[in-house]
Amino acid sequence: MLLISLMILLPVVGFALLLAMRSDLARNRLTAALFSGVPLALSAYMLIAFNYGNPGYQFTEHYTWISTSYFTISYAVGVDGIALPMVFLTSLVSFLVVIFSWDVKHRCNQYFGMLLLVEAGVMGVFTTTNYFIFYIFWEIVLVPMYFIILIWGSQRRVYSATKFFIYTHASSLVMLLSFFALYFEYHSLFPSRPFTFSITKISQVSPLFPALFQEIVFLGLFFGFIVKMPVFPFHTWLPDAHTDAPTGGSVMLASLLLKMGSYGIIRIAVPALPYGAKYFEYVILVLAVISILYGAWVSMAQRDMKRMIANSSISHMGLVLLAIAAAVFTLNPKTGYINTLGISVADFQMFAHGLITAVLFMSAGVVQHHAGTRDMKSLGGLARKMPTLATMMMAGFLASLGMPGMIGFAAEFSVFYVTFLSFGLLLIIPILTVVITAGYYLWSMQRTIFGADSGSVDFSGIHDSEWFEWIPMLVLILIIVAFGIAPWLMFNPINIAAAHYYSSMAGALR
């Protein structure tokens, strides 16, 4: 089965083609749509063909890439229940972003090419089962994203792009070192077995790693991942990058790139170093809680709409980390037992946030595009001029603040549930976010789409969003609502897979 490889390769081919093409909007965007549309179709097929009863990896592929006596790297990909929502999210959001960017005229061939390359990288991160390939894709994502911010960004794009690049690159290098540590430790623990970068093989023996090793290496991995998520206090690249990126870039960044960090934690950091995670459980918890409240609270102070949404992402990704902390808390060092519910919930919240935040950034992009500013203080009364946009934006905001009937609520509730299971009454602190989030979203709606014109923006020539702007949003909202009404459709496979994926820990100790 070449399914996954195709999903990774097609965007790369598209990228190469687009770079080779001339800058011709009509043809470029069709090419981009094609090369991101086919992966979407493939992932839709995957949703159908996926065996939901099988908790393990499916559609696996395995090729040896580099092989020497001491260094073996294999290209290995596969999808299980944990990766499935992420894969779907990636192909969906990428395609919708291409559609949304239908009218980007400036250096359009490169723009679409970069978008496709980001898609390929993210897809690779979510599907690979090899540490090394994981890192490669992880890094590949940085370069096109950097260019997207740099070339098509707004005012402070140079600063933001550079900051993004340096910050995340530094963290990923630390992560890489930790991978190496795992690689060698595995071999020195089992000299009879060959060196391996296989995520699954290392996870299968992880509880046997010595305690100090786990603690140190976990710290490295954790740092690498939480910078990407991002988590307080390593989050400051995010508002800048999101704010200055073009809309398509912001969407990719928020919907997909942030998920790479949390995905890394649940796929790698915790299973590979369970006691390291256990050792730092309170660190994880505290960082998560701070991120949740801090991100939300800082959002409230923002005037720039995108900046507000970016900060809210910090808050929502904090919920992901909170769920992870809840799972780690249940880990029993003696038996290797872990209640993986937190892991599943984290994955689910990632999926939810990926869908929702795309709508948010798209709506901010439309506002920017049509009204010419994102400054909420100078906006106002947009709903009368742009009813479609206002509807979409409101739906997105409501989804983000956890309105039932939309996927955000199911995810948020699950997070609170697992938090209570692990931490009990401590839940009262993170749950405050429910109010703060509602506060800043509603306030920003009051300032932008409701009320009267502020008078500082000329609304005379303004018109409602274009078809290529609202259709992607509508599609996302429909999916948000669909999974909001029946979240079990996505949650059950995640849950089964997470339990299976982590079961090896107990097995190793037996």
Partner 1 sequence: MDPLLQYSSLIALSPIIAFALISMVPSSRPRLTEWIAVIGVAVSAALSLLILAIEFFGNGSGISPVAYQQQIPFLRFSAGAAVTLGIYVDWLTVVMTAVVSSVSLLIVIYSVGYMHAEGARRKRYFGVISMFVGVMLGLIMANNLFELYIFWELVGLGSYLLIGFWYEKPSAAKAAKKAFVVTRFGDMFLLFGIVLLLSVADHTVMYQALFQPSSVTALKSSGFLTLATLAMFGGAMGKSAQFPLQDWLVDAMEGPTPVSAMIHGATMVNAGVYLVARMYPLYSQAPISALFVSFIGAFTAMFAATMALGTFDIKRVLAFSTISQLGYMFMALGAGAYVLSRQPIGAASYSLGYSAGIFHLMNQAIFKALLFLAAGSVMHSLGGTQDMREMGGLRSKLRITSVTMLFGSLSLAGIIPFSGFFSKDAALEAALGGTAYSPVFLLIWLFGIVGALLTAVYIFRLWFMTFAGKPRYPPEVHVHESPPVMVLPLIVLAVLTLVAGVAVLGVAGFAMAVHYPAVLSPHVSPYAQFNGALGLLGDPATYLSLFLAFAGVGISYSVWGRGRSGSKAVSGAITSRVYSVLVERYYFPQMYDKLGIWIGYGVARGLDFFDSKVVDGIVNGVGRFFIFSSENIRRSETGYVQQYAGAIVLGIVVIAVLLILLPMMGV
Partner 2 sequence: MIQFFASGMSPLVVMIAGAVLAAALSFYVSNRVLGWLSVVTMLITFILLFMIIGGEIPNPQTFGNVMVEDDFAAVFQLIFLSVGLITVLPSVKYIEGDRNQGEYYSLLMLSVAGMMVISASTDLITLFVGIALTALASSSIVAFRKKDRIAVEAAMKFYIISALSAGLALYGISLLYGLTHTLQISALASSLQGISPSSPSFPTAMVALVLIIAGFGFEIAMVPFHMWAPDVYEGAPTPVSGLLSSGSKKAGLAAILKLFVVALIAFRTEWAPVFGALAILTMTVGNIAALQQKSVKRMLAYSSIGQAGYMLIALPVFAAAFGYHGIYGANLQVFSISSGIFQILTHAIASSGAFMVVAIMATNVSGPTVDEFRGLFRNNRLLSLSFTLYLLSLLGIPLLAGFDSKLLIFSSAVGGSIIQGYSWLIWLAIAGVLNSAVSLIYYVRVIKEMFSDTESPVTKYRMTGFAQLSLWIATVATVAIGLYPGPVISICNGAARALLALL
- Near partner 2 by CB under 8 A, which window of 170-178, 287-295, 322-330, 413-421? 170-178
Q: Going residue by residue from 393 to 422, which x/- string records binding to partner 2, judged by CB under 8 A? A: ------------------------------
- Identify the residue among 53, 70, 425, 428 touching partner 2 (CB under 8 A): 70
Is 398 in contact with 363 (CB distance < 8 Å)?
A: no
Structure tokens at 22: 């001339």
Across the strands, what pairs with 149? none
- Near partner 2 by CB under 8 A, which window of 28-36, 187-195, 336-344, 400-408? 187-195
- Identify the residue among 118, 148, 181, 277 touching partner 2 (CB under 8 A): 181
Alpha-carbon distance of 439 to 311, in angstroms, equals: 14
Map the footprint of partner 1 across residues 335-354, applying CB under 8 A.
341
Report the largest interatomic distance among the alpha carbons of the chain, rounded to a whole angstrom.
75
- Near partner 2 by CB under 8 A, which window of 55-63, 171-179, 395-403, 445-453? 171-179
- Identify the residue among 16, 189, 208, 434 touching partner 1 (CB under 8 A): 434
- Identify the residue among 45, 71, 282, 488 touching partner 2 (CB under 8 A): 71
Q: Classify residue 195 by its DSSP letter.
A: P
Nearer of residues 147 and 167 to partner 1, judged by Cβ: 167
Q: Does residue 299 belong to the site contacting partner 1 (CB under 8 A)?
A: yes
Q: Does residue 5 belong to the site contacting partner 2 (CB under 8 A)?
A: no
What are the residues whose beta carbons fall under 8 Å from the beta carbon of 28, sequence distance 6 or more?
A: 18, 21, 108, 109, 112
Answer with the entry of partner 2, partner 1, none that 487 interacts with (C-beta below 5 to 8 A by kind): partner 1
Is 313 in contact with 357 (CB distance < 8 Å)?
A: yes
Nearer of residues 55 and 153 to partner 2, judged by Cβ: 153
Is 385 in contact with 274 (CB distance < 8 Å)?
A: no
Residue indicated by tokens 């701070």? 290
Answer with the entry of partner 1, partner 2, none that 135 interacts with (C-beta below 5 to 8 A by kind): partner 2
Alpha-carbon distance of 318 to 230, in angstroms, equals: 8
CB of 180 vs partner 2, minimal distance in Å:
4
Structure tokens at 334: 């003696």
Answer with the entry of partner 2, partner 1, none that 151 interacts with (C-beta below 5 to 8 A by kind): partner 2
CB of 494 vs partner 2, minimal distance in Å:
29
Is 307 in contact with 375 (CB distance < 8 Å)?
A: no
CB of 405 vs partner 1, minimal distance in Å:
6
Q: Compute and round to an integer the Cα radius of gyration of the chain.
A: 22
What are the residues whose beta carbons fall under 8 Å from the beta carbon of 422, sequence distance 6 or more?
A: 325, 326, 327, 329, 330, 339, 342
Is 430 in contact with 419 (CB distance < 8 Å)?
A: yes
Q: Going residue by residue from 188 to 207, which x/- string records binding to partner 2, judged by CB under 8 A? A: x--x----------------
Helices 237-244 and 157-189 pack at an angle, to 10 degrees, of 130
Secondary structure (DSSP) of 136-187: HHHHHHHHHHHHHHHHH--TTHHHHHHHHHHHHHHHHHHHHHHHHHHHHHHH
Q: Does residue 115 belong to the site contacting partner 2 (CB under 8 A)?
A: no
> Can you give 223-256 as a three-state secondary structure string?
HHHHHHCCCCCCCCHHHHHHHHCCHHHHHHHHHH
E strands in 252-405: none
Structure tokens at 54: 């099988």
CB of 439 vs partner 2, minimal distance in Å:
37
Task: List residues near partner 1 by CB under 8 A.
Answer: 163, 166-167, 232-233, 235-237, 294, 297-302, 341, 381, 383-384, 398, 402-405, 409-410, 413-414, 416-421, 425, 427-428, 431-432, 434-436, 438-440, 442-443, 445-446, 449-452, 486-488, 491-492, 495
Interface residue list for partner 2 (CB under 8 A): 65-71, 135-137, 139-140, 142-143, 146-147, 150-151, 158, 161-162, 165-166, 169-170, 173-174, 176-177, 180-181, 183-185, 187-188, 191
